[in-house]
Each structure stands twice: as structure tokens, then as C-alpha cells.
Amino acid sequence: MMPVGTGPYRVVEFKPGDVVIYEANPYFREEGKPYFSRIELKGGGDAATAARAVLQTGDIDFAWNLQVENQLLEQLVKDGVGELLFSPSGSSERIVLNTTDPNTEINGERSSVEAPHPFFSDKRVRQAFALAIDRDTIAKQLYGLSGYPTANMLFEPPIYESPNTSYEYNLAKAAALLDEAGWVDSDGDGVREKDGKKLSILFQTSVNPIRQKTQEIIKASLTQIGFEVELKSVDNSVFFSGDAGNPDTMSHFYADVQMFTTGNGSPEPNSSMLEWVCWEIAQQSNQWSGRNITRWCNPEFDALYNQAKAELDPQKRAELFIKMNDLLIEDVAIIPLVRRTFPTGASKTLEGVELTPWDSNTWLIKEWKRKS
């Protein structure tokens, strides 16, 4: 059965992983709307192909989240048939460090909370890792207008953005922290070791040209300070899925480091901050459905979260959320990279498209129509 709702369109055909076809809802509440009789929503493919189809060839009318290099977007827009719209958001591309050991299995479970990570458990190693990330280069070379470097996990709405944080790219300081933590290259192979264990990491993310180039930039810096880095790219349909039986999902986190975009999708940050509370840890007992995939657990953070839920004064609530953000950054539980402004492609023949950081790009699709 096809779902029936009160929106401007209704589903008439659905092919999982491929296409959804909608027709105008004859019972829609606004007379004369919507303006299209049929809409096809196509899934799969890659961002670069979608960008060309909407900006250059005009094969499609609209494409969301065109996460391709800024240089390519500029080329496609020039003398093309589509235009770029930039949607502000509360989301950031970020690095998360596994607090658990992905290579140790306890009771049939890897990345178990009972097995702390062999070196990311040391804050000095986490700090060194953060200092080895060149956010400015990543943002400028790869994102352009679609992303800006950031030191905060929470920055939208502006009342929640912390003034207390900063970021720095400093390989000398990073190397000094690793020295202090006892990680040294004693055999001259370029990789630090301690107690017989190499400073070796598996760094994974989804398949995307910008993400793969970001991985390479970060790897180059980490290699300079004595990390050994293996890069892994996972198909989007797998990485972002909730498949409890697939070990390559981001929720399983069977790697040392991973990278993706998420953030505050609502003016109210309660939901996004659930990613860090102790009771949301993704693990075998909940089929890896918990939202806390780094397994970072801090009772102080939990207490602030619960206090914020009960606080009615807007300014006091903002102060509590800023404290939560600062705990995450100070403890290097997360390393924000780029504040995303999602590039969206739209045909120049299309009008009525309005973007918002707080809803789907199609929230006002009842107003979409061809320019007369």
C-alpha cells in the first residue's frame, strides 16, 4: 500500500533505492495547487553526476546537498542552465575519535564500552590529533562557499554558539604532546610506538570526492607527526544505514576515526545533543541504534543536558548548551571541521523554492512551479 497524507503530492510508485513517483493530490487543501501533475524523486548516484544534471545539462530540475569541490561547482554554474542556492544549516562536517577499541572483541562485540581505546583514551593524543588538522585549507580548497571552518559543534541558532572555543593547526605542538604521552619512533620507521603498540589508525568515511580529499589532507599531516593512517571509504547506502548486521555502518564504528556531517536540525538543540549522553551509546544490546556512536560518556554532560531540558529561561538554557558544547570541544570528544552551508542546485526555470535550515528542502514544494 502507498502512504496517504494531506500533502500536495501522493506516492503512486516506489522502488527502494531507486525512485519514488508522486502525483498531485486531488484532495489537497489549497485550490489550484500544487502546480506539477507528477514529480519523480531519484535516489542513488553521486553528487558530481547530480550537479552536472541540474546545473549544466538540465536533465533534472533540483538536486540537494551537492557536496562536490567548489571549483567544479563554479565551472558547472558558468553558462549553465541551473543555479546554486546555499542553505544555511546547523550541521558540521566533523571528526569523531573512537573512545573504545575496535580491534578487541568482548562477548562477541567490538568497540565495546568495556574495552577503552588503546591510545585515544589519553587526552594528549586526542589533542595532538586535533592540532594536526588544517581546517582552513580543507574549507578553502574543498568547500569554498559551501563551508566555513569552525571550532564548535553547536552554532545555530546563534544564541547557542560558544565564544569560548578556538582551533589551531600546529604540528610542532602536536608532536610535543605525543612525546609527552610517551609515543616515540624508536625504530626509525616514521611511526611512533609505545609499549609495543604502533600509533596506527583506521580512518573511515562515506564515499564522496570531498571526503576522500579531506582524508588525504588530514593523513598527510598525521603522518608527519608519527601516525600510521589507513584510509577506508564505505558506500553511502551502507555507512549511513541502520543495518544491525552490517559491520561497516557508522553506528558500529569499527574504526579508530570516522568523518561525516550531522548537527542541529532544529532551532531547539535537545535532539542533537542526545548524540553525546551516556544512555544513548550505540552497542550490541540496542542493535547499535543508540545515537552516541563515539561511546563518549561524561556524567557532567548528562547533568547539564537534563538541567537544560527543565530550564525555561531562554538565556539560561543557552548558557547550559554552551557549557555542553565546551565540554565536548575541551575534552576532544569531537573535532568540528567545517560549518556546512548546503549547496543546492535548481533549474533557472523553477520558481517558488525557499530553503530553510530547519526543514526539508521540499517543505514548500506546493509553491514550486515553472516560471512563466
Amino acid identity at 126: R
Lowest-pLDDT range of 139-143, 203-207, 226-230, 275-279: 139-143
115 DSSP assignment: S
pLDDT of residue 2: 65
User: What confidence score (pLDDT) does residue 311 get?
Assistant: 95
Question: pLDDT > 70: what percent of the chain?
Answer: 99
Do residues 294 and 97 lie in contact, with contact meaning Cβ atoms separated by under 8 Å? yes
94-129 residue pLDDT tens? 999 999 999 999 999 999 999 999 999 999 999 999
Q: Cα–Cα distance between 29 and 244 in angstroms, integer?
A: 40
Close Cβ partners of 359 (under 8 Å, ≥ 6 residues apart): none
- Match domain 89-341 to its CATH number in 3.10.105.10, 2.30.30.230, 3.40.640.10, 3.30.470.20: 3.10.105.10
Read off the pTM.
0.84
What is the rounded distance in angstroms from the CA atom of residue 148 to the CA atom of residue 162?
Answer: 16
**Averaged pLDDT, 31-53:** 89
Percent of the chain with pLDDT strictly greater than 90 = 75
Per-residue pLDDT averaged across 194-223, rounded? Answer: 96
Within the chain, all domains assigned CATH 3.40.190.10 are found at: 9-88+342-370
Q: What's the pLDDT band for 1 if we cut at 50, 70, 90?
A: low
Angle between helices 123-131 and 171-180 (to 10 degrees): 160
Predicted confidence band of residue 227 (pLDDT cuts 50, 70, 90): very high
Confidence check: pLDDT of 334 > 70: yes
Pairwise CA distance, residues 305 & 310, whole Å: 9
- Looking at every residue in the chain, the average pLDDT score rounds to 93
Considering the chain, tell me which residue range(s) the CATH 3.10.105.10 domain(s) occupy: 89-341
CATH class of 9-88+342-370: alpha beta
Gap between the Cα atoms of 122 and 127, Å rounded: 9
Q: In terms of Cα–Cα distance, which of 256, 234, 281 is closest to 103?
A: 256
**How many CA atoms, within 13 angstroms, populate the side-chain half-sphere of residue 146?**
24
End-to-end CA distance of the chain: 37
The cell for 30 is: 489549497
Whether the per-residue pLDDT at 66 is higher than 90: the answer is no
Tens-digit pLDDT profile for residues 263-318: 888 888 998 999 999 999 999 999 999 999 999 999 999 999 999 999 999 999 99
Residue 43 Cα to chain centre, angstroms: 19
Q: In whole angstroms, what is the distance from residue 210 CA to residue 133 CA?
A: 15
Candidate from 16-20, 225-229, 364-368 with smallest mean pLDDT: 16-20
In this prediction, residues 222-245 reach a mean pLDDT of 95
Distance between CA atoms of 293 and 146, rounded to whole angstroms? Answer: 26
Taking a C-beta distance cutoff of 8 angstroms, is the pair 253, 102 a contact? yes
Closest C-alpha among 91, 113, 84 to residue 278: 113
Q: Please tell me the predicted confidence (pLDDT) of residue 132.
A: 98
pLDDT confidence of 3, banded at 50, 70, 90? low
Res. 325: pLDDT tops 70:
yes
261 is written with which cell numbers? 556531517
Distance, CA of 128 to CA of 366 (rounded, Å): 50
In the predicted structure, residue 359 carries a pLDDT above the cut 90: no
pLDDT digits 0-9 by tens, 156-165: 999 999 999 9
Beta partners for residue 109, in sequence order: 106
What burial letters (b/e) apply to 317-348, b meaning 16+ CB within 10 Å?
bbbbbbbbbbbbbeebbbbbbbbbbbbbbbbe
Which range in 130-134, 209-213, 367-371 is most confidently predicted, on average pLDDT?
130-134
Write out the E strands in the chain: 9-15, 19-24, 38-42, 62-63, 82-97, 105-106, 109-110, 147-149, 193-194, 197-198, 200-206, 228-234, 257-264, 334-347, 350-351, 369-370
Whole-number Å distance between alpha carbons of 136 and 138: 5
Spatial separation of the C-alpha atoms in residues 150 and 166, rounded to whole Å: 8
Identify whether the C-beta of residue 258 lies closer than 8 Å to the C-beta of residue 252.
no
